[in-house]
Amino acid sequence: EKIGERRNEVVAFGVSGQQHGLVTLDHRNQPVRPAKLWCDTSTAPEAEKLNRALGNVDELIRRTGNTMVPGYTAPKILWLKENEPKNFTHTRTILLPHDFLNFWLTGERQMEYGDASGTGLLDVQSRTWCAPLAEFIDKDLLAKFPPLRSSTRPAGLLRSTLREKFHLGDVLVSAGGGDNMLGAIGTGNIATGRLSMSLGTSGTLYAFTETPMIDPRGEISAFCDSTDHWLALACTMNVASAVDRVRDLFGWEMNALEKNVARSQPGANGLMFLPYFDGERLPNLPNGCGVIHGLNSTNTNRQDIARALIEGIVVGLAQGMKRLVELGIRADELGITGGGAKSATVRQIVSDLFGLPVVGFKTGEGAALGAAIQAAWTYGQTGGDPMPLEKIVKSAVKTDRKTRAEPRKENETIYAELRGRHADLTQKLASSGYL
């Protein structure tokens, strides 16, 4: 209805979906149970079993390119088999969230390399399933997976019933992808030297790579992207979810939170906030909890708590940046997208903590834009007017120079100390069993 008469111009679209979710379908293609989502950390014991499935973590990294964390899909599958064996037996098809939407749209089952790499079962170097790891879960597991395909191949055409319902023509559905993979396209991160951050429910920091960037420590995820290349990615679990809890505590709307953050000063007068409300992925603390440290008579107030929260969120991603740099990633600017990117105060804190210029985009939803760009590119490659992806991205992805923030020299020492104190506090609490 919103498109109106222009619906006749629609020739293709793509789907962006949250990564890692487990969608299970029965023999009638109906969901067996509600999907287990990326933020479900109940699978921590299963993740540990999978880390040892091939002998040790080093061998797992060698065979797949990644360690296993609770958020990935593989631990969810093992959890299902161990805790809901009837549901596992009734499962005929395993899909990821965006794959399920593609199936609903086209009637075709498939899984593309990018989102498939987030299952933890894919060898990201060969882009094939790691059979020994899959067989550790179940000897017939891979029979439940759909065909594995290139991210550049379309998922199919829109089903006739949907074409008729929405009065559309022959609409091509591209492969789509995970939100981070398509967020990379939607922020122009399709060549080396680019760095993107997404501040949504979770926080992610990622960079395009020409070859898989395998982290021997397993802190950085080595994913396939949605252009048949690779994406080095750091992820933290608590961004919007942490912000919402503090907003609810104080009865704030978003603008009230931002005003209180701005009223405080860098370092929040010595207050530190470890925002691990739902456990954490970086650092890997699936059973972690939130911690406010350093309360005293001068900083026990709303503005310092608010600022400590935002700084704590960004410090977690800054630790990911430190590891990306150690692995060889270089960038002279950080592109930022997602709901958190709308705040000038947040952008300045990111710039100061990262020591990089930060800039937002004229289209705030990078993943949705990336899905649209992928659809246009795929349509051109399959019979339309072929156009290089780089040309489409250059035309569609526009930075908003009004959002630019530059790192402030006077905050450099404050934030260097804060990063160190956060890491030290996290390590000490975790090693003593308090996280």
4-173 CATH, one of 1.10.357.10, 3.30.420.40, 3.30.360.10, 3.30.70.330: 3.30.420.40
pLDDT of residue 315: 98
pLDDT of residue 46: 98
Averaged pLDDT, 323-345: 95
Instruction: Give the separation between CA 371 and CA 366, rounded to whole angstroms.
Output: 9
Question: What angle separates helix 389-396 from helix 366-381, to the nearest 10 degrees?
Answer: 140
Structure tokens at 203: 């926080």
**Structural domain boundaries of the chain?**
4-173, 188-366+399-435
Same fold, 4-173 and 188-366+399-435: yes
Structure tokens at 292: 């406010």
Cα 383 to its chain centre, rounded Å, is 32
In tens, the pLDDT along 388-399 reads 999 999 999 999
pLDDT confidence tier of residue 321, bands split at 50, 70 and 90: very high
In tens, the pLDDT along 9-24 reads 999 999 999 999 999 9
Helices (H), 65-158: 73-83, 85-90, 97-106, 113-117, 131-137
Instruction: Give the separation between CA 160 and CA 105, rounded to whole angstroms.
Output: 10
pLDDT confidence tier of residue 329, bands split at 50, 70 and 90: very high
The verdict on domain 188-366+399-435 having CATH code 3.40.50.150 is no
407 and 352 Cβ atoms separated by less than 8 Å: yes
pLDDT of residue 379: 96
Q: What share of the chain is helix, strand, coil (3-state, %, to 5)?
A: 45, 15, 40
Positions marked active-site: 179
The string of DSSP codes covering 349-367 is: HHHHHHTS-EEEESSS-HH
Instruction: Report the candidate in 335, 344, 328 with the shortest Cα–Cα distance to residue 393.
Output: 335
pLDDT of residue 35: 97
pLDDT of residue 385: 82
Instruction: Report the candidate in 280, 270, 268 with the shortest Cα–Cα distance to residue 241.
Output: 280
Q: Residue 421: is its pLDDT beyond 80?
A: yes
* Total-model pTM: 0.94
**How many helices (H) and strands (E) are present in the chain, helices listed first?**
16, 20
231 and 207 Cβ atoms separated by less than 8 Å: yes
pLDDT of residue 364: 81
Radius of gyration of the chain (CA): 22
pLDDT of residue 3: 80
